[in-house]
Amino acid sequence: MLGMTGMTSMPSRCCVLTLSLLAVALIAACSKSTASKATIPRYDRMPGYERVFFTSLFVIGVGENEEKRRLFEDVFSRVLSGDSTYAMPSWKRLPQSRLLTERELKTALSTNDFDGVLITRLVSVDEDGGEEHAEGDTSGVRRARPFEEYYQGSYEAVHEPGYYERTIAYRLETNLYAISDGGLVWAAHSAIVDPASVEKGIDRLAGAVAEKLRQEGLVRWGLFSLLVRPGVGM
Q: What is the DSSP string of 51-101?
A: T--BSEEEEEEE-SSHHHHHHHHHHHHHHHHTTT-EEEEGGGT---SSPPP
Residue 8 half-sphere exposure, CB side, CA atoms within 13 Å?
5
Fill in the DSSP letter of residue 231. P
Q: 142-162 as b/e, with b when 16 or more CB fall inside 10 Å?
A: bebebbbebbbbbbebbeeee
Task: Judge if 107 and 219 occupy the same domain.
Answer: yes
The answer to whether residues 56 and 28 belong to one domain is no
Residue 169 pairs with which residues in a beta bridge? 126, 193
Question: Is 64 a member of any domain?
Answer: yes
Give residue 60's region: left, alpha or beta (phi > 0; psi -120 to 50).
beta
Q: Are residues 118 and 174 in the same domain?
A: yes
Q: What is the pTM of this model?
A: 0.67
Asked if the structure places residue 204 within a domain, the reply is yes
Q: Based on the domain organization, do 22 and 87 belong to the same domain?
A: no
CATH number where 47 lies: 3.40.50
Give the pLDDT score at 232. 34
Q: Is residue 234 part of a domain?
A: no
Per-residue pLDDT of the chain (234 residues; tens, 9 = 90+): 444 444 445 445 444 333 343 343 444 444 444 447 889 989 999 999 999 999 999 999 998 889 989 999 999 999 988 656 899 999 999 998 899 999 999 999 988 899 999 999 988 767 644 444 433 344 444 555 677 888 888 888 778 776 665 447 788 999 999 999 999 999 999 998 777 777 888 899 999 999 999 999 999 765 444 444 433 333
Q: Which domain holds residue 114?
A: 38-228
Q: Which residues contact 217 (CB under 8 A, 6 or more apart)?
A: 53
Q: 175 in a domain, yes or no?
A: yes
Question: What is the count of structural domains for the chain?
Answer: 2
Q: What confidence score (pLDDT) does residue 200 get?
A: 86
Same domain, 213 and 125: yes
Q: Cβ–Cβ contacts within 10 Å for residue 69, how many?
A: 21
Return the H-helix or E-strand segment holding 22: helix 2-35
